[in-house]
Amino acid sequence: MLQAVIGYTSRRFRYAMVMPNLSTPVATTEQASMYLEQIRKVTPPDSPDFRPLMTLYCSDQLEIEDLCHGHSEGIVKAVKYYPAGATTNSQSGGSAMMNFNHIYEAMEEKRIPLLVHAESTDDDVDIFHREAAFLERELALVCEQFPELKVTVEHISTSDGIDFVKAHPQVGGSITPHHLARNRSDMISPAFHADLFCKPVINSEQDRTTLVETAISGDPSFFLGTDSAPHPTHAKYGKDAKAGIFNAAYGLEVVAEIFATANKLDNLAAFTSVNGATFYGYEPSQETITLHRSSLDPEKATHISTEDGNQVVLFGVEEASQWTVST
């Protein structure tokens, strides 16, 4: 799978924050280094400036000394917190964020960013309200206790997520192409569309509108985070649909269509290329790619195939048919 999808990211993006939720969690510097080497081995030669940013899984296996060593060596760039059971391969995540205060304390001191999958796993909370519940019950306490800890609310799905970032100066927020372009009716009406199932789930049209308004505004606290997650169709269409949308191939076209529709293309580069790099303290790329709006409706691939014959659906084919990309 890695070999099948890596080029879609490396050819479009300079930086990729690489998630640690593999089937065996990436919780040590050694594991992160090995994963980085795997990525570099299969990165296409036409992506010489691609820079994977490795993260460690916040869990009982994470050791502070190893984390600090990995960060000082330039291997570990951030730590990712998953609520246990919230999403793909999150079984090793936490039952409560405050259980890891000793880790956050070290991260705050060393200026290591914390990335958060902000979603409650409380069965009593409506699935469409789980982001708000997590932010209120969990992340707010962490931000209050560690005011200098740089935090990203990843793949914001609701207005509550936007409000939370705006209320906390040390917090940034990533927004995905699919949360910008689709609402929950697209996912479940007139039937359930497994290809749009992700965590946190795509939410209401009102929430989508707020996400769009925020993204196109140029607010530097918000930036593109694709949360691109390839799952083969047999896993997406099985009895228990895997949560994840593969959007690396056409994510830029989807976002460009959003900005073009709102007549805000002047802010597109800030959202896709500048705000995130700046938030994490990296130099934005000086290289450019150019998107051209086209009425030719060129035919676009709808799937990719892995070496063993698995197929993965590409998100954003409709929007991609309106754009061409050149480097």
Which H or E element spans position 293?
strand 290-293
Q: How is the chain split among helix, strand and coil, in percent rounded to 5?
A: 40, 15, 45
Coil, strand or helix: which one is 94? Answer: strand
Phi, psi of 155 (to 5 degrees): 40, 60
123, 227, 240, 297: the active-site residue: 227
Q: CA 229 to CA 242: how far, in whole Å?
A: 10
Radius of gyration of the chain (CA): 19
Could you list the beta-strand ranges (E) of 51-141: 51-57, 76-81, 114-116
Secondary structure (3-state) at 144 = helix
Check residue 265 and report its DSSP letter: G
State CA 221 to chain mean position distance: 15
> 228, 299, 318, 302: which is closest to 1 by C-alpha?
228
The answer to whether 227 is a known catalytic residue is: yes
Q: Are 179 and 157 in contact (CB under 8 A)?
A: yes
Residues carrying an active site annotation: 227
